[in-house]
Amino acid sequence: MPSDPARPGRNQRGSGQPCHDLFSYAYRLSRQGRSSQRGQCYSHARRMIRNMMRLTLENRSSRKRLYRPDALRRVLARIAGGEKHEAGGLVNVVFCDDAEMAALNRTYRGARGPTDVLAFAYKPVPGCPVTKRTLGDIAISLETIERRCAGDLKSMRFEVRLLFCHGVLHLLGYRHDSAGQCRSMAEKQALYLGVTPEKAWLFKH
């Protein structure tokens, strides 16, 4: 059975143990005298934890409760598993209002007015060893989301997840400059959000 991208903590060696249980599982093996399997289990758990993408969230918006941190972490875990991303890394997300987003849009894109999401991928410095590198930053305007969704909380929370997923895919190198790229990105977003491609596309992007 193929691994489920929604369950990135699965032990791919077939024990079926979630990664956060692997250390206790290894301890039980050691009590049974199975030291070789115990060592493999510890090693696998450490490798999975080391390779996980990590997420930081900062809300500088006046809007609150429009997103659930655990829901965003689940989306990130699905992306990490589905994209076979094994390098680990940190994703920083800033939630802001339209004024700050408009300033970012003007500074980095030369565009006027706010947008819904911006993604800034970090580029490693040549010659410098990189271990836990930062993948990049994502800015999301909660004010734009609130206006677009007419204040409906369920719709706003989905829109936050969609924009977050869109931003992470940009950090991983996805683009939508052509019809084929748009279709591919919509399919990826649908997969990681569990919705249809039609619902998972951002028509203004």
Residues 118 and 30 in one domain: no
Q: CA end-to-end span of the chain, whole Å? A: 36
pTM value? 0.72
What's the domain count of the chain? 2
The b/e string for 30-63 (b: 16+ C-beta within 10 A; e otherwise) is eeeeeeebbeebbebbeebeeebbebebebebeb
Quote the CA–CA distance of 119 and 201 in Å, as a whole number.
16
Quote the CA–CA distance of 174 and 19 in Å, as a whole number.
28
29: in domain: yes
Residues 118 and 29 in one domain: no
Tens-digit pLDDT string for the chain (205 aa):
333 333 333 333 333 344 444 445 445 555 555 555 555 555 554 555 455 678 999 999 999 889 999 999 999 988 988 887 655 688 999 999 999 999 999 999 999 999 999 999 987 667 665 555 788 999 999 999 999 999 999 999 999 999 999 999 999 999 988 888 988 999 999 999 999 888 887 655 4
* CB atoms closer than 10 angstroms to residue 27: 12
Residues 185 and 164 in one domain: yes
189: in domain: yes
Residues 113 and 34 in one domain: no
**Residue 119: CATH number of its domain:** 3.40.390.30
Token pair listed for 7: 């369950």
For 45, the domain range is 19-49
Q: Is the Cα dihedral 147, 153, 154, 156 positive or negative?
A: positive
